[in-house]
Amino acid sequence: MCLRLGIDPDLIAVPPLELILEEQFLPMEHTPAGEASAREITRELATRSMLEVKDEEGYTLAEAVTAGGAAKERAAATIDDCEWRITRAEPGTAGAMPVPDDIRRRAGLHLKPR
């Protein structure tokens, strides 16, 4: 851009900027810390997606838990299925998957002490 405008690029010191574009962070560092951040972002987006999707009766997970009965059982089964998939996922992918206990907490499906 500087060349096109006839400006000497050595005269302008512009610090690097981080741009957020459609929930993607650019540029992403290829370091352990950068990859950990990418996994956390992916995990949070997957968690939000699970919490916002509606089942066949039109309930989100939290609404199903509140409704009780069969809807609550389906919500619990969905979260259990997520937990089952994590145990069978490859090590690199499991870190980016939603944490079942976090989904249970956010959906209001708390385990009651006995």
Per-residue pLDDT of the chain (114 residues; tens, 9 = 90+): 566 667 676 666 666 666 565 655 556 667 777 778 878 888 898 999 999 999 989 999 999 999 999 999 999 999 999 999 999 988 778 888 899 999 999 999 876 544
Q: What is the DSSP letter of 106?
A: H
Give the global pTM.
Answer: 0.65
Integer Cα distance of 65 and 76 in angstroms = 8
Tokens for 70, please give them.
Answer: 């069969």
H helix or E strand, kind and range, residue 20: strand 19-21
For strands 19-21 and 24-26, give the pairing. Answer: antiparallel
Domain ranges across the chain: 26-103
Q: What is the pLDDT of residue 3?
A: 65
